[in-house]
């Protein structure tokens, strides 16, 4: 079964940190590609003992303006 998740990748010092929006699972890597690959592995481990059917709810990504 394949599921689609939303990831946010941010540069933090020498690492790229990838976080899954839907569940908060995070991983890191030296490159964007490595951080995504590591996040994929972390998500597979996170869900390996889950019921075969994972309920997916739609995610919405937007931007907002804040006065600072």
What's 60's domain CATH number? Answer: 3.30.160.250
Per-residue pLDDT at 55: 60
Contact assessment for residue 43 and residue 31, using Cβ atoms and an 8 Å cutoff: no
How confident is the model over 20-50, as pLDDT tens digits? 988 899 999 999 999 999 999 999 999 887 7
How confident is the model over 3-13, as pLDDT tens digits? 888 999 999 99
pLDDT above 90: residue 56: no
Domain that holds residue 14: 1-68
Q: Contacts by 59-65 with C-beta closer than 8 Å and gap 24+?
A: 59/6, 59/21, 59/22, 61/6, 61/21
Number of domains in the chain: 1
| Better pLDDT: 3 or 17 | 17
pLDDT above 60: residue 67: yes
């Amino acid at each position: 079964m394949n599921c689609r998740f939303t990831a946010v990748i941010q540069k933090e010092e020498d690492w790229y940190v990838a976080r899954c929006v839907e569940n908060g699972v995070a991983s890191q890597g030296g490159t964007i590609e490595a951080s995504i690959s590591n996040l994929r592995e972390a998500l597979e481990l996170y869900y390996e003992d889950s019921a075969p059917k994972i309920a997916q709810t739609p995610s919405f990504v937007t931007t907002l303006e804040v006065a600072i």
